[in-house]
Structure 1
Amino acid sequence: MKKTIALLASTSLISVGTAAMAADLEVTHWWTSGGEAAAVSEFARMFNENTEHTWVDGAIAGGGGTARPIMVGRITGGDPMGATQFNHGRQAEELVEAGLMLDLTELAEAEGWSDFVNPSSLLDSCTLDGRIYCVPINIHSWQWLWLSHKAYEDAGIPVPTNWDEFVAAAPALEEAGKIPLAMGQQPWQSNGAFNVMAIALAGTDAWKAVHLDHDAEVAAGPDYARVFEAAAQARAFSARSNVQDWNQATNMLISGQAGGQIMGDWAQGEFQVAGQVAGEDYSCLPGLGVNEIISTGGDAFYFPKVNNPEIEAAQLELASLMISKEAQVAFNLKKGSLPVRGDIDLTAANDCMAKGLEILATGAILPDTNQTFSPDTQGQLEDLMVEFWNDPSYSAEDAQRQYADIISRAD
Structure 2
Amino acid sequence: MRFHTRLLALAATVAMPLGAAQATELEVTHWWTSGGEAAAVAEFAKAFDATGNKWVDGAIAGGGGTARPVMISRITGGDPMGATQFNHGRQAEELIEAGLFVDLTELAEKENWKDVVNPPSLLDSCTLDGRIYCVPVNIHSPQWLWLSHKAFEDAGVPVPTNWDEYVAAVPALVEAGKVPLALGNQPWQSNLLFGAVQIAIGGIDLWKQVNLGKDAEAARSPEMAKVFQAMADAREMAEESNVQDWNQATNMVITGEAGGQIMGDWAQGEFQVANQVAGQDYSCLPGLGVHEYISTGGDAFYFPKLDDPEQTKAQLELASLMVSKPVQVAFNLKKGSLPIRGDVDLEAANDCMKKGLEILAAGRMLPSGDQVFSADTQTQFNDLMVEFMKDPSISAEDAQKRYADIVENAD
Q: TM-score, normalised by structure 2?
A: 0.95
Identical pairs, percent = 75
Query: What is the CA–CA distance in structure 1 between the aligned matches of 2:74 and 2:153, rounded to whole Å?
Result: 49
Aligned position for 2:32: 31
Query: What is the CA–CA distance in structure 1 between the aligned matches of 2:214 and 2:283, rounded to whole Å?
Result: 34
1:132-147 → structure 2 map (5 Å cutoff): 132-147=132-147
Residues 22, 310 of structure 1: 8 Å contact kept:
no
Instruction: List gaps (5 residues or longer) in structure 1.
Output: 1-19
**Letter of the structure 1 residue corresponding to residue 23 of structure 2:** A
Query: What is the CA–CA distance in structure 2 between the aligned matches of 1:138 and 1:349, rounded to whole Å?
Result: 14
Question: Following TM superposition, by how much is the alpha carbon of 1:236 offset from its aligned partner in structure 2, in angstroms?
Answer: 0.1
Question: Following TM superposition, by how much is the alpha carbon of 1:22 offset from its aligned partner in structure 2, in angstroms?
Answer: 2.8
Query: What is the CA–CA distance in structure 2 between the aligned matches of 1:117 and 1:111, rounded to whole Å?
Result: 11
Aligned position for 1:281: 281
Question: Following TM superposition, by how much is the alpha carbon of 1:377 offset from its aligned partner in structure 2, in angstroms?
Answer: 0.2
Residues 196-254 of structure 1: per-residue CA shift (max 9 Å, x gap): 11011111111111111111000011111000000000000000000010000000000
Aligned position for 1:67: 67
Larger Rg: 2
Residues 25, 311 of structure 1: 8 Å contact kept:
yes
Matched, 1:90 2:90: yes
Aligned position for 2:121: 121
Aligned position for 1:45: 46
Question: Alignment length, in residue pairs?
Answer: 391
Query: What is the CA–CA distance in structure 2 between the aligned matches of 1:255 and 1:21, rounded to whole Å?
Result: 47
Aligned position for 1:297: 297
Query: What is the CA–CA distance in structure 2 between the aligned matches of 1:354 and 1:81, rounded to whole Å?
Result: 35
**Letter of the structure 2 residue corresponding to residue 244 of structure 1:** Q
**Letter of the structure 1 residue corresponding to residue 37 of structure 2:** E
Query: What is the CA–CA distance in structure 2 between the aligned matches of 1:27 and 1:122, rounded to whole Å?
Result: 21
Partner SS, residue 166 of structure 1: helix
Aligned position for 1:205: 205
Aligned position for 1:405: 405
Query: What is the CA–CA distance in structure 2 between the aligned matches of 1:254 and 1:52, rounded to whole Å?
Result: 39
Question: Following TM superposition, by how much is the alpha carbon of 1:36 offset from its aligned partner in structure 2, in angstroms?
Answer: 0.2
**Letter of the structure 2 residue corresponding to residue 22 of structure 1:** A
**Letter of the structure 2 residue corresponding to residue 148 of structure 1:** S
Aligned position for 2:310: 310
Question: Following TM superposition, by how much is the alpha carbon of 1:80 offset from its aligned partner in structure 2, in angstroms?
Answer: 0.2
1:241-256 → structure 2 map (5 Å cutoff): 241-256=241-256
Aligned position for 1:389: 389
Q: TM-score, normalised by structure 1?
A: 0.95
**Letter of the structure 2 residue corresponding to residue 47 of structure 1:** F
Aligned position for 1:263: 263
Aligned position for 2:353: 353
Partner SS, residue 349 of structure 1: coil
Query: What is the CA–CA distance in structure 1 between the aligned matches of 2:191 and 2:249, rounded to whole Å?
Result: 15
Query: What is the CA–CA distance in structure 2 between the aligned matches of 1:362 and 1:143, rounded to whole Å?
Result: 17
Query: What is the CA–CA distance in structure 2 between the aligned matches of 1:224 and 1:284, rounded to whole Å?
Result: 25
Aligned position for 2:3: none
1:199-238 → structure 2 map (5 Å cutoff): 199-238=199-238
Question: Following TM superposition, by how much is the alpha carbon of 1:403 offset from its aligned partner in structure 2, in angstroms?
Answer: 0.3
Partner SS, residue 172 of structure 1: helix
Residues 148, 253 of structure 1: 8 Å contact kept:
yes
Question: Following TM superposition, by how much is the alpha carbon of 1:21 offset from its aligned partner in structure 2, in angstroms?
Answer: 4.4
Partner SS, residue 169 of structure 2: helix
Partner SS, residue 26 of structure 2: strand
Query: What is the CA–CA distance in structure 2 between the aligned matches of 1:216 and 1:209, rounded to whole Å?
Result: 9
Query: What is the CA–CA distance in structure 2 between the aligned matches of 1:210 and 1:374, rounded to whole Å?
Result: 14
Query: What is the CA–CA distance in structure 2 between the aligned matches of 1:223 and 1:136, rounded to whole Å?
Result: 34
Question: Following TM superposition, by how much is the alpha carbon of 1:143 offset from its aligned partner in structure 2, in angstroms?
Answer: 1.2
Query: What is the CA–CA distance in structure 2 between the aligned matches of 1:116 and 1:321, rounded to whole Å?
Result: 14
Query: What is the CA–CA distance in structure 2 between the aligned matches of 1:344 and 1:229, rounded to whole Å?
Result: 42
Query: What is the CA–CA distance in structure 1 between the aligned matches of 2:90 and 2:157, rounded to whole Å?
Result: 44
Residues 290-312 of structure 1: per-residue CA shift (max 9 Å, x gap): 10111000000000001110000
Instruction: List gaps (5 residues or longer) in structure 2.
Output: 1-20
- Which aligned runs of 4 or more in structure 1 are off by greater than 4 angstroms? none
Residues 191, 381 of structure 1: 8 Å contact kept:
yes
Residues 197, 231 of structure 1: 8 Å contact kept:
yes
Residues 25, 314 of structure 1: 8 Å contact kept:
yes
Aligned position for 1:13: none
Residues 238-295 of structure 1: per-residue CA shift (max 9 Å, x gap): 0000001000000000010000100000000000000000000000011011101110
